[in-house]
Amino acid sequence: MSQNDNIDDDSEVDFSETMRESTELTGPVSRERADRFYDRMRDGIRRYLDKKGSLAGKTGEYLLLAPDVFVLLWRLVNDARVSAKNKVMLGSGLAYYLFPLDIMPEGLLGPVGYIDDLVFAVYLLNRMLSDTDEAILREHWSGSQDLLTSIDNVLKAADHLVGSDLLGKLKKTIKA
């Protein structure tokens, strides 16, 4: 058994649990469920990056943003100052994170599968900034980097992260 097989086995257990939970029909995402998903995602990404080391490169930095962006979406959906239109849009971002069969499925790709979730969510957040005070977003941000800088960096790297074909599909989904 190679070292890569061990990585895949560890990731498979984490993502099987995530997929099982994401397919439960429990209604809206509760704080407890969001926290569990965040913790599992963060732990899985950290283990993956620890095993990959420098091979993960710049992608690793973006992967570490994925859990913080997820919890930001959840917090904004639950903020009374956010418009109903934006809550629906952000809810689609939460659903995309939780849905097991998206463009880059986590169940097949491991933590790298969160890249498309991150790009989709960042496009939604960027769109939301057109009619929402950035202070509201900053208030809920728990990431270590500046939120607007993080959004800008992900948008600039999106083509590289998910490929231009996938990026086009994500953009079309957002415009719909």
Query: What rounded mean pLDDT belongs to the chain?
Result: 80
In the chain, the percentage of residues whose pLDDT exceeds 70 is 76
pLDDT for residue 103: 76
Asked whether the predicted pLDDT for residue 6 surpasses 80, the reply is: no
- What's the domain range around 109? 3-175
Q: Which residues contact 53 (CB under 8 A, 6 or more apart)?
A: none
The counts of H helices and E strands in the chain are 9, 0
Q: Which two tokens stand for residue 54?
A: 């420098």
pLDDT for residue 102: 76
Asked whether the predicted pLDDT for residue 7 surpasses 60, the reply is: no
- State how many domains the chain has: 1
| 160-176 pLDDT tens trace | 777 666 556 666 656 65
Asked whether the predicted pLDDT for residue 25 surpasses 50, the reply is: no
What does pTM read for this prediction?
0.76
| 75-93 pLDDT tens trace | 999 999 999 999 999 999 9
Output b/e per residue, 161-175; b: 16+ Cβ within 10 A. Answer: bbeeebbeebeeeee
- Point out the least confidently predicted range of 69-73, 99-103, 131-135: 99-103
More confident residue, 12 or 119: 119
The H-or-E segment that residue 152 falls in is helix 147-162
